[in-house]
Chain A
Amino acid sequence: MRDDVPPDGGADATIALRVQDWYAQTPAAPEQLRVRINEALGAVARQPARHAFGRRVHWSSVGAAAAAVMLVAVGVLAVRRARPARDAEISEVPFAIDAPHAARVALVGNFNQWDARATPMRRTAATGRWTAALRLAPGRHVYAYILDGKTWTVDSVAPRSGDKDYGSINTVLVPTGR
């Protein structure tokens, strides 16, 4: 018996499940987001400890707090500047698999650390086809699908990785925009 089911049990559980499903289907974060976060952190890291905006700041508890605030401000500015005008190298790659009898399908691959929670796929009710689209950086990516949390499968038509070290996986290559 779940301890998080509220007193009026069933009705709230239906809503809870509906919210869960909808939440799990949130489109994935853009690949560039992680890049931008790292750029912003890098901008913060490049600030020397005792300087802020060209003035020497003594590293006291008060000064540190002020410097920290200014570093955050710089970081925010870096964030704003770091956003590229266009995602030139990131491509949106569609994934699809037919699994009409599955209740849920997850896309796993080297782009999401093979985490079954990261990329739940969306079902088209009429056809039983499950789809997802991910923005991927150029390079070779390998992936598979997990049906109902336990059965690993691949798309028989998509390129095969060949090495079955653990089981079959598919490959997709995202070209560089050259």
Chain B
Amino acid sequence: MRTRLRRAAAMIARATVLLAMVAAGAGAQSVRDDGRIDRESLQLLRAIVDTATAHGLPAQPLLDKILEGSARNVPGPRIVAVVRQYAAALGEARTALGPSSTAPELDAGAAALRSGVLPAQLIRMRAVRGPGTAATSIVILTDLVSRGITTERASDALERVLRLDTDDSMALALRNAVAQGDAQASMKSLGKFLDDLPDSRKVRKPPETS
């Protein structure tokens, strides 16, 4: 009894460490250990996540990938491969979007890169949306590309629209217009949306940047 109470005291007394838990708060994910991921894969995953966080990359998107893979009964080695690639993509996203990028921006950027968006196109998004405000446009860019619009055309169109508004409402409208149709219709919908922009709001295409 006395030993247990002393242990309680020791636990409670580690205020600094426990405050870190509180601060981390939402970052404390957990997975039911039902044996879906083999031990070796777990160790590799642990190393990948530790390395990523040591480089200042957000761990949450990687944990999400692990959990998703586990929920889908994906074999451990495949989860390891996916998480490794995603960690690399997070790093590339940070290079493209800059060190001041928020975790949602990096997460969105990594997903964009994995779907075929080029780093140069992320840079263009950053040019029109400052740190902490680019996640929506990156998500929209990814969605347009996933619907069959070429990355160049999608980023052109999006950049034009984003320069017209300080919030992302027009970009969201563009996405919605494209999303209603099938792949073939997507390009037409995109073109029509741009053509239908009111005359007074059309802007010249921005000068080419190096």
B82–A42 CB distance below 8 A: no
CB distance from B82 to the nearest CB of A (A): 4
The interface residues of chain B, by DSSP majority, are classed as helix
B139–A140 CB distance below 8 A: yes
Distance between Cα atoms of A57 and B67 in the complex (Å): 45
Indicate which residue in B12, B26, B67, B74 contacts A35 across the interface (CB closer than 8 Å). B26
**Size class of the contact patch on chain A:** 35 or more
A114–B146 CB distance below 8 A: no
Indicate which residue in B30, B107, B114, B145 contacts A140 across the interface (CB closer than 8 Å). B107
Distance between Cα atoms of A159 and B178 in the complex (Å): 11
Which among A35, A61, A116, A173 has the greatest number of chain B C-beta atoms within 10 A?
A: A173
B86–A165 CB distance below 8 A: yes
Q: Which B residue's beta carbon lies closest to that of A65?
A: B5
Q: Which A residue's beta carbon lies closest to that of B175?
A: A159
Write out the residue numbers on chain B whose beta carbons fall within 8 Å of the beta carbon of A45.
12, 14-15, 18-19, 21-22
Which among A46, A48, A140, A175 has the greatest number of chain B C-beta atoms within 10 A?
A: A140
Which among A110, A158, A162 has the greatest number of chain B C-beta atoms within 10 A?
A: A162
Interface residues of A in 35-88 (CB under 8 A from B): 35, 38-39, 41-42, 44-49, 59, 61, 64-65, 68, 71
B108–A140 CB distance below 8 A: yes
Q: A38-B22, A115-B32 are in contact. List 11 more A-B contacts (CB 8 A).
A: A34-B25, A45-B15, A47-B12, A59-B5, A64-B5, A114-B70, A116-B71, A159-B142, A162-B146, A171-B108, A173-B135
Chain B interface (Cβ < 8 Å from any Cβ of A): 1-2, 5-6, 8-10, 12-15, 18-19, 21-22, 25-26, 29-32, 60, 64-65, 67-72, 74, 82, 85-86, 103-104, 107-108, 110-112, 114-117, 135-136, 139-140, 142-143, 145-147, 175, 179-180
28 contacts between A and B (CB under 8 A): A34-B25, A41-B18, A41-B22, A42-B21, A42-B22, A45-B19, A64-B8, A68-B8, A71-B12, A110-B67, A110-B68, A113-B67, A113-B71, A114-B68, A138-B104, A139-B103, A139-B104, A140-B107, A142-B111, A159-B140, A159-B142, A165-B85, A167-B72, A171-B108, A171-B142, A173-B108, A173-B139, A175-B136
Chain A interface (Cβ < 8 Å from any Cβ of B): 34-35, 38-39, 41-42, 44-49, 59, 61, 64-65, 68, 71, 108, 110, 113-116, 137-140, 142, 152, 157-167, 169, 171, 173, 175
